[in-house]
Amino acid sequence: MVKYGMKHVSTSMNSYISYMLAAAHHAVHQTLATRLKDHGMQVETWRILETLDSEQRLTMGELARIVLMNPPTLTKMVDRMVSQGLVHRQVDASDQRKVNLLLTDLGRKRMTEIRELVRVQDREILAQLDPQQVEVLNCVLRDLSDTAG
């Protein structure tokens, strides 16, 4: 349930695009995190599950870039997910340095449940905007994502 009537905090920071972006992300992330928490799931955990479902045979490094985490952080998060029975590791046959991550049945099941919550939030966000805004936003966010290496 989206909260309306939230009083906007006016601050000099609003003139910085990097801050505006951080603030928007913060707000959206917070609502999503709260919703997923009710189902015992973190946003980052869900991202990993979702990514593994669609791209097969991902290595830790590739996954780390996609889910926006540093490798050591991902390693530890995956450790936890393994002990929760959501994923399992498999050493790559053709390159033994690489580790492929695979969803377990439980992992896929949990992912599917959570996916719906994320889609609900997505629809709520998009409903606030008009179609042109959505198009521009998508385009701009894609540009910005490629800003840094």
Partner DNA sequence: TGAATTTACTTTCCAAGTCAACTATTAATT
Partner DNA sequence: AATTAATAGTTGACTTGGAAAGTAAATTCA
Binding site for a copy of itself (CB under 8 A): 2-3, 6, 8-9, 11-14, 16-32, 34, 47, 50-51, 53-55, 65-68, 118-119, 121-122, 125-126, 128-129, 132-133, 136-149
CB of 45 to a copy of itself, least distance (A): 13
Surface-to-core class of residue 39, CB atoms within 10 Å of its CB (0-12 exposed, 13-18 middle, 19+ buried): exposed
CB of 80 to a copy of itself, least distance (A): 20
Query: Cβ(87)–Cβ(63) under 8 Å?
Result: no
**Identity at 59, one-letter amino acid code:** T
Query: Cβ(126)–Cβ(134) under 8 Å?
Result: yes
Q: Binding string to DNA for residues 54 to 83, with x set by CB under 7 A, is what?
A: -----xxxx------xxxxxxxxxxxx---
